[in-house]
Amino acid sequence: MKKTLLLSLLAVMSLCAACKKHKQTDPCIGLYARIAPAQVGIVVLDKETGENILLAKNIDPAKVTVAPTERVYFVTTATSNLYGSLVFHIADTSKGAFSYNVNIPEVATFTLKYTNDEKETGNVCNPTAIVVNNPTVGEYPYTTTKEGTVFIITIKI
């Protein structure tokens, strides 16, 4: 009888443990960003010589303005794919058309325009993302290449 009672007790305990519900965890906890923010690298070339004006004229980055952003820097590392460019992040995170006014004293003033579109990602945590498209410079001839989330815009002045 003791043996039967002990076996019955063990059977009930193992069934209780097997029926225990596990708490579901949220797979999105701890995720911070949807996608990496877009960056723009602007290379300014002399249209006649092909020389990089930003490097040749020793432009003071503190005097360059890119409105509406405040964080602008020059890439002076020769091994970087952005070498000799003026770089800033695109901070707009909603759909629509946007522009930045760029002023490089004694070199050029121009407007960078682009659109932000919303696309579906297929990711349950971040179902949509804002993607920068169609960067243009109206005042000067330019070419645009894209490497990941970095637009490299080469302008000939």
28-76 pLDDT, tens per residue?
Answer: 877 665 567 789 999 999 999 999 999 999 888 889 999 998 788 899 8
Report the alpha-carbon distance of residue 111 to residue 102 in Å, rounded: 6
Amino acid 4: pLDDT: 58
The end-to-end CA distance of the chain, in Å, is 99
List, in order, residues 6 or more apart from 18 with CB less than 8 Å away. none
The tally of CA atoms less than 13 A away on the side-chain side of residue 124 is: 4
Amino acid 25: pLDDT: 79
Amino acid 123: pLDDT: 84
Cβ contact 128:93 at 8 Å: no
Amino acid 43: pLDDT: 95
Which of 86-90, 123-127, 152-156 is least confident?
Answer: 123-127
